[in-house]
Amino acid sequence: VSEQEIMSYVRRGEAEFAIDMRTGDIDADLTAMPLLEDGFVLACRDDHPLARGGPADAGELGGMPLMILGARSGTSRVLQAHLTNRAKTAKWLYEVQHLSTMVGFLEAGMGVGIVPRMVMRGVASRRLVSRPLVGPGLARTLVLVERRGATLSPAADKLKQMVLAEFEELAAAA
């Protein structure tokens, strides 16, 4: 589901709240509560030349076959905006729509990928490693979006409190 669709569900009341990535200004009829600043990681197979070391700089991607999540992803827009100048010589070879596709490509040794840190935590792979990717603007802000002035149902309010508690734990562990 795209960012625009998520916002329209909340705006129309089809969803009482949503979790999304902030990519710009929020409309006046919505509110956005920041939940987590999530950086990006360089992901690759454990036998790749970039598999070892501390934080990675986009400049290290020169000449590497690089894959990112597709244009429907807000993550892709953030990366395109911030990496284009920093990784001028990277070979932007693969654009995939699903993380599972990227994981398969990476496990096959077809290149390196850039994914949000939080997403990589959920990837179950014995062959993949990740390194924090550093650089200005190389993070995404996850937000909880609600209709301004709307009252949540008791069930939605309880779910919201559980979501907030979970994100507090994630932020503390980061």
pLDDT tens per residue across span 80-93: 666 655 555 556 66
pLDDT for res 27:
83
Cα separation, 147 vs 169, whole angstroms: 25
pLDDT for res 86:
52
Tokens of residue 53, six digits = 């070391």
Q: Per-residue pLDDT tens for 130-153?
A: 999 887 777 889 999 999 999 999
pLDDT reading at 124 higher than 90: no
77 confidence band (pLDDT: 50, 70, 90)? low
Residue 124 vs residue 109, higher pLDDT: 109
pTM (two decimals): 0.79
105 contact partners, CB below 8 Å, separation of at least 6: 67, 94, 96, 111, 113
pLDDT reading at 1 higher than 70: no
pLDDT for res 85:
56
pLDDT for res 90:
56
